[in-house]
Each structure stands twice: as structure tokens, then as C-alpha cells.
Amino acid sequence: MSIASLESLASDDAHLRERCVSSREVYRGHFLEVYRDEITLPDGGHTGREYMRHPGAVMIIPLLDDGRLVMERQFRYPLDRAMLEFPAGKLEPGEPGIVCGVRELFEETGFTAREWAYAGQLHNAIAYCDEHIQIWFARGLQAGERRLDAGEFLDVFAATSEELAGWVLDGRVTDAKTSIGLLWLQQWRAGAWPLTWRSARDFEVEAQQGDSAADGSGLSSDA
């Protein structure tokens, strides 16, 4: 059986697009919004789509000087279990990713970082949610006293990338963002996916100037 390559497909995706006919908000919570839309399918048929809107988030991959990673163990109510994951937090409206990353790293772990690097963005639930998660690396860590939000409870621990890979393999780590973070870490350390390292202040200034530094795009890269 012959199968096409991506390059051989039509560049226009009009034959795949779904069109919104009507949209109705069915639930609004503290930060999640649930919608029910009526849509037109590419073949002219009609159906419904239910999905959530999310403000987005930032995940941080914190690197200790000895190469180990700073990670968290946190109970996740929908899964009724404690999960092993990288630090992460929700973006505030209009907030640059670097600002969110600096805040969440400090509040959850007590660490501040000398240098930061933007890796990319992931969508972790594309079938039913528009959540996007920015991936940031942090190094040159300095320990301090963390400041958890009210009602927030989590453990902080250090692990090697080899340990994390083993936990992904044996199923102890199933969090999608953490698995993608491990992939980025492995590729960067292998020299395949370069990162640009700058101070948090440099990223913030460029974001304020309207450059693409809020999400790291458009920056030159070095290892």
C-alpha cells in the first residue's frame, strides 16, 4: 500500500475545515469555559462540537547544576492520584509566558533561575480543549523559600533524566506535558534541538517592546 507524504498533500486545508453555525456557552467556571457549537462539516452535513476554552499555561523544565531536574508530585483530582510532573501554572490574561514561568517556578519550588530558554508550545487535548502550554527551560537555579497558593499542596524533588525516562516507560509518569518536556530535554542535550538562553529580564523587555520574546519565537538559537 502506498501512502502520501505530507509534502504531497494539498497545501490548502479547506476540504477538512468545519464551520461554526452557532455557539453557546453551557458552563463558565473559575477558569474553564464549556461550549456547545453547531457546525457544518466539509461535506455539507451538520453536527455538534463540545469543547472547553482554557487561558493557557506554562511548563518549566528546571535544570540543577548537577544535571538533575526539579520535579513535583501533586494530587490531581480528576485522576484521583498523585502525579509526577514538571512545574507548571496557568497564564493570566495578556501575561507573557516568561512572567508566568518565573512566578510559578518560585511559588511552587522556591527556585529562581539565572537563565531561561523558550522551547516551544504544545496542545495537550486537541479534540476537546484549546489549551496551549508554553515550554520553558530554566538553569542557574538558586534555592529559596517557596510560596504556595492557598489550597495548593505538592512535593518537590530532584530526578535524573534517565529516571524520568524510566518512569515514562513503566507508566508512573503519564502526564502529557512532562513527557513532551522530556523529549525536548533529550533532543536539546543530543544537540538536535537548540535553545536560546537569556535572562528573564531580557525576555520581559523584548515582550514589552512587542517582539516575539513573550513566547520565544523569532530568536536566534544556540546550545
Query: How confident is the model over 50-103, as pLDDT tens digits?
Result: 999 999 999 999 999 999 999 999 999 999 999 999 999 999 999 999 999 999
| pLDDT < 70 positions in the chain | 211-223
Q: Is 101 helix (H, G, I), strand (E, B) or coil?
A: helix
pLDDT for 207 equals 80
Residue listed under C-alpha cell 497545501: 11
Q: Which helix (H) or strand (E) holds 103?
A: helix 97-109
DSSP 172: S
CA distance 59 to 70: 12
For Cα atoms 206, 211, 212, give the angle at the middle one, nearest 5 degrees: 105
CA distance 181 to 61: 7
Nearest-10 Cα torsion for 186, 62, 207, 128: 70
pLDDT for 164 equals 98
Per-residue CA distances from 104 to 25, 62, 112, 149, 221 (Å):
30, 11, 10, 10, 25
**Which of 222, 202, 211 lies closest to 99, judged by CA?**
202
CA distance 208 to 217: 15
pLDDT for 152 equals 87
What cell numbers appear for 36 in the block?
456547545
pLDDT for 134 equals 98
Structural domains of the chain, ranges and CATH numbers in brackets: 16-53 (no CATH), 57-209 (3.90.79.10)
CA distance 205 to 194: 22
What's the one-letter identity of residue 184? Answer: W
Residues paired with 141 in a beta bridge: 113
